[in-house]
């Protein structure tokens, strides 16, 4: 877990460095290029236990131009030419010069520069120290994060130096925290310094701070007061983490709920309002996802600049594609089966098989890659919460779609006709409403919504011909649980099922949690066959 995070941090760091290379190159570089090259070439020489020393020496030069080479060393992309003792970085299938980053043609045999975990750790810390001098505060912050994990007391002078110059409050805070972590590791630090450090770590409240505090308790013969303070700090951090854990679970639950809501909302119209069991509903979602894929393909080949807008372009198209398929289905099959729900179920299942196989024949059976635009990727922290942008967008999107549907149903002319037809078909017909068309368009609307749900789901799920199958049972459960014919019920149903599922997961595991939720719903339906928000009334003759 930690190593994975480190990897992510290192990669992000490298990406950032690489991206802003043009700007960082202008940063103060005291060391001459030849001196740098000499030190970089030295990385390839000597035994592995000499390497930390050589890295330190390179880092001492304080040039951020060394970062690329160090990174290559960490990732095993650094090669040396035995004959010329020159060092190159492998980049894809060719080699580049570590300083100029220009491609070089070497014909001689290259040998990979070896590194072990210790070497990598030191190289990472070195990168962090070099990045600490970057003019970009984002980069400095990330450098600090990496240094925090290393927490080497040799870094102390560097940190103090950085603290003097640091203006950015956030980075400064982080630096103080690192200082605290290093102080705690130092057995000879004064009691006051230790207490202050504990206080700072407590304020930090992260998993890492917890680790440092625990390490402090475990291996130092510190004073009783310091130990007690550390113990209290641990308890406080654990408590706040537990609280944040609940929020995190709620977030995960809402996130799952939003996915369920998106998948179920179209069904709430076709099943809830019209009473049609559409087993091909999942395939409408799948069509939406494949529309996104096609849109991105076209953009990739013809209009690469539009990639950031690919989802926005896909939304109306997915709505139209799924809606058109739904319309065709209603006109050609479903309208002959009104009043025979079980037959509708079978016929639409047949349609779902045909749609799946059609997609499989056209696009192949394997998963398709649908890219995330920039604004959908990444994550940010909110207190102790880790929120990813794509999940946040999907939650927001599901609520927007929900609100849109409510508006259409309750405020538009079409919605009025639709409600009229569902309440009293014959009366509506005699008022001049073309009920067959209202049926067809209502079904198309439900299908279209499923299509745009597919656009959103393409961002977090595998886009394959089986995409729809994995959502169909869940969607039905949501609609039935929430109460058929009640959109608010669908919202509450989706969110509560999502949250319940995520709260069960830590105790039961993901699969068992899902099974438990299914069992609970089965029992629930038997207790309240009409769902959470059932409409009461003189029961219809069964």
User: Closest by alpha carbon to 53, among 64, 65, 39?
Assistant: 39
Q: Rule CB under 8 A: is residue 532 a binding residue for other proteins?
A: no
Q: Which is nearer to other proteins, 104 or 333 (CB)?
A: 333
Q: Rule CB under 8 A: is residue 352 a binding residue for other proteins?
A: yes
Residue tagged 């236990």 (tokens)? 49
Q: Which is nearer to other proteins, 358 or 396 (CB)?
A: 358
User: Closest by alpha carbon to 401, among 454, 463, 344?
Assistant: 454
Q: Which of 361, 366, 377, 424 binds other proteins (CB under 8 A)?
A: 361
Q: Which of 6, 9, 343, 373 binds other proteins (CB under 8 A)?
A: 343
CA distance 430 to 426: 6
The span of 218-226, 255-263, 319-327, 526-534 binding other proteins (CB under 8 A) equals: 526-534
CA distance 418 to 226: 71
Q: Rule CB under 8 A: is residue 345 a binding residue for other proteins?
A: yes
Q: Rule CB under 8 A: is residue 103 a binding residue for other proteins?
A: no
Q: Which of 135, 341, 404, 506 binds other proteins (CB under 8 A)?
A: 341
Q: Rule CB under 8 A: is residue 512 a binding residue for other proteins?
A: yes
**Interaction with other proteins in 252-281: which residues (CB under 8 A)?**
277, 279
Q: Which of 33, 108, 377, 535 binds other proteins (CB under 8 A)?
A: 535
Q: Which of 349, 414, 488, 503 binds other proteins (CB under 8 A)?
A: 349
Q: Which of 350, 364, 383, 404 binds other proteins (CB under 8 A)?
A: 350
CA distance 261 to 395: 9
Q: Rule CB under 8 A: is residue 346 a binding residue for other proteins?
A: yes
Q: Rule CB under 8 A: is residue 363 a binding residue for other proteins?
A: no
User: Closest by alpha carbon to 291, among 311, 261, 270, 269?
Assistant: 311
Q: Which of 309, 336, 380, 437 binds other proteins (CB under 8 A)?
A: 336
Q: How many residues bind other proteins (CB under 8 A)?
A: 49
Tokens of 256: 């799952």
CA-based end-to-end distance of the chain: 57
Contact 154, 126 (CB under 8 A): no
Q: Which of 340, 364, 404, 424 binds other proteins (CB under 8 A)?
A: 340
- Beta carbons within 8 Å of 511's beta carbon, 6+ residues apart: none
Tokens of 387: 């929120």
Contact 451, 444 (CB under 8 A): no
Q: Which is nearer to other proteins, 409 or 478 (CB)?
A: 478
CA distance 290 to 468: 11
User: Closest by alpha carbon to 192, among 223, 154, 219?
Assistant: 223
* Nearest distance in Å: CB 19, other proteins: 43
Tokens of 57: 């020496």
* Nearest distance in Å: CB 356, other proteins: 7
**Interaction with other proteins in 457-496: which residues (CB under 8 A)?**
469, 473, 476-477, 480
Q: Which of 354, 386, 400, 403 binds other proteins (CB under 8 A)?
A: 354
CA distance 113 to 43: 8
**Helical residues (DSSP H) of 151-223, grouped into ranges:** 156-165, 169-185, 191-204, 207-219
**Binding interface with other proteins (CB under 8 A):** 277, 279, 333, 336-337, 340-347, 349-354, 356-358, 360-361, 469, 473, 476-477, 480, 511-512, 514-515, 518-519, 521-523, 525-527, 529, 535-539, 541-542
């Amino acid at each position: 877990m930690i190593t994975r995070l480190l990897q992510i941090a290192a990669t992000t760091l490298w990406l950032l460095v690489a991206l802003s290379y043009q700007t960082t190159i202008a940063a103060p570089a005291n060391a001459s290029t030849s001196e740098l090259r000499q030190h970089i070439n030295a990385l390839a020489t000597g035994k592995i236990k000499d390497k930390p020393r050589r890295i330190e020496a390179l880092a001492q030069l304080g040039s951020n131009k060394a970062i690329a080479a160090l990174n290559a060393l960490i990732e095993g992309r650094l090669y040396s030419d035995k004959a010329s003792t020159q060092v190159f970085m492998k980049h894809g299938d060719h080699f580049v010069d570590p300083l100029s980053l220009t491609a070089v043609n070497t014909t001689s045999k290259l040998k990979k520069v070896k590194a072990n975990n210790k070497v990598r750790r030191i190289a990472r810390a070195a990168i962090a120290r070099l990045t600490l001098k970057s003019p970009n505060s984002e980069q400095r912050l990330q450098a600090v994060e990496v240094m925090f994990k290393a927490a080497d007391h040799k870094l102390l002078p560097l940190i103090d130096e950085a603290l003097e110059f640091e203006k950015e409050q956030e980075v400064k805070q982080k630096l103080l925290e690192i200082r605290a972590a290093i102080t705690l590791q130092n057995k000879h630090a004064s009691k006051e310094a230790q207490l202050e450090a504990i206080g700072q770590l407590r304020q930090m409240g992260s998993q890492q701070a917890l680790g440092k505090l625990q390490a402090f308790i475990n291996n130092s013969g510190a004073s009783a007061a310091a130990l007690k303070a550390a113990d209290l700090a641990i308890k406080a951090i654990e408590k706040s983490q537990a609280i944040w854990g609940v929020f995190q679970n709620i977030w995960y639950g809402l996130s799952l709920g939003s996915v369920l809501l998106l998948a179920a909302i179209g069904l709430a119209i076709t099943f809830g309002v019209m009473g049609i069991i559409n087993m091909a509903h999942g395939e409408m979602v799948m069509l939406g996802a494949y529309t996104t894929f096609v849109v991105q393909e076209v953009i990739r080949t013809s209009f690469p600049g539009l990639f950031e807008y690919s989802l926005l372009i896909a939304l109306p198209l997915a709505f139209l594609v799924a809606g058109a398929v739904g319309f065709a289905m209603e006109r050609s099959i479903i309208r002959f089966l009104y009043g025979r729900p079980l037959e509708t179920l079978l016929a639409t299942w047949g349609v779902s098989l045909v749609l799946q196989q059609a997609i499989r024949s056209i696009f192949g059976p394997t998963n398709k890659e649908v890219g995330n635009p920039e604004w959908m990727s990444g994550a940010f922290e909110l207190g102790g919460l880790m929120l990813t942008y794509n999940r946040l967008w999907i939650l927001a999107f599901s609520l927007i779609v929900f609100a849109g549907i409510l508006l259409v149903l309750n405020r538009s002319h079409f919605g009025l006709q639709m409600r009229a037809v569902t309440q009293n078909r014959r009366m509506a017909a005699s008022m001049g409403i073309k009920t067959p068309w209202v049926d067809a368009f209502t079904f198309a609307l439900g299908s279209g919504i499923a299509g745009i749900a597919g656009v959103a789901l393409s961002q977090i799920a595998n886009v394959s011909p089986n995409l729809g199958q994995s959502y169909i049972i869940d969607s039905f459960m949501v609609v039935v649980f929430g109460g058929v014919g009640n959109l608010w019920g669908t919202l509450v149903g989706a969110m509560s099922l999502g949250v319940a599922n995520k709260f069960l997961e830590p105790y039961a595991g993901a699969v068992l949690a899902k099974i438990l939720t299914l069992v609970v719903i089965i029992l629930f339906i038997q207790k309240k066959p009409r769902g959470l928000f059932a409409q009461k009334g003189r029961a219809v003759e069964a």
